[in-house]
Structure 1
Amino acid sequence: MTVKSSISLTDQQDAFARRLVAEGRYSSLSAVIQQGLELLRRDFEASDALRALLEQRRKEPSLSFEELERLVKDDLAKDRGDLGLDA
């Protein structure tokens, strides 16, 4: 379904949108606005997903710097051993 809306643009926004149409990047001013709204929607969804992930991670137990450093060193030593390099 398509809904017709009336919007106001600044002179700069209008000129930019018309240039995109004139260059053949979009078929119409409506297509430019639709793409802009789609990008904005995706940005909001990505921000919401990131926010939820960060909240989830805050609730999980975390490692101290010393624990993390030990894990990294152990992994590096294992990788070096797997590759036959001196530890």
Structure 2
Amino acid sequence: MTIKTTIALSEDHLRYAEKLVAEGQYPTISSVIEAGLEQMMAAGSEQDPVSSIADEINRRMQLPRDQWISMEDDTMFDDIEAYIHTKLAKG
């Protein structure tokens, strides 16, 4: 069932939606909006991206200290590479 409603878009969002319609990627601006909503629903992204990033940072900070990768000196990339090789070797 389709319900008619009115929404407000920023000028940038409207221009982008119009461009997608003009290029034939979507038949109407409504279908552009619907596609975006469908993607969010499929991804289960009811939470804003910044909160998701904060949650992931907090999760990683709960890891034991020996699982952290040191960022001191200029050895960070070497340490990461060694860590990856160790994980790959364990299979």
Q: TM-score, normalised by structure 1?
A: 0.50
Matches within 5 A, 1:17-28: 17-28=17-28
Report the counterpart of residue 3 of structure 1 in structure 2: 3
RMSD between superposed Cα atoms in Å: 2.5
Report the counterpart of residue 44 of structure 1 in structure 2: 44
Distance of 1:34 and 1:43 partners within structure 2 = 14
Structure 1: tracts of 5 or more residues without a match: 48-71, 77-87
Distance of 2:43 and 2:8 partners within structure 1 = 22
Distance of 1:37 and 1:5 partners within structure 2 = 15
Structure 2: tracts of 5 or more residues without a match: 48-88
| CA drift at 1:44 | 1.5
The count of aligned residue pairs is 51
Q: TM-score, normalised by structure 2?
A: 0.48
Q: Which runs of 4+ in 1 moved over 6 A?
A: none
Partner of 2:44, secondary structure, is: helix
Matches within 5 A, 1:74-85: none
| CA drift at 1:43 | 1.7
Distance of 1:44 and 1:7 partners within structure 2 = 22
Q: Over alpha carbons, which structure has the higher Rg?
A: 1
Which structure is higher in helix share?
1
CA distances 1:29-56 after superposition (whole Å, capped 9, x unpaired):
01101001101111226x8xxxxxxxxx
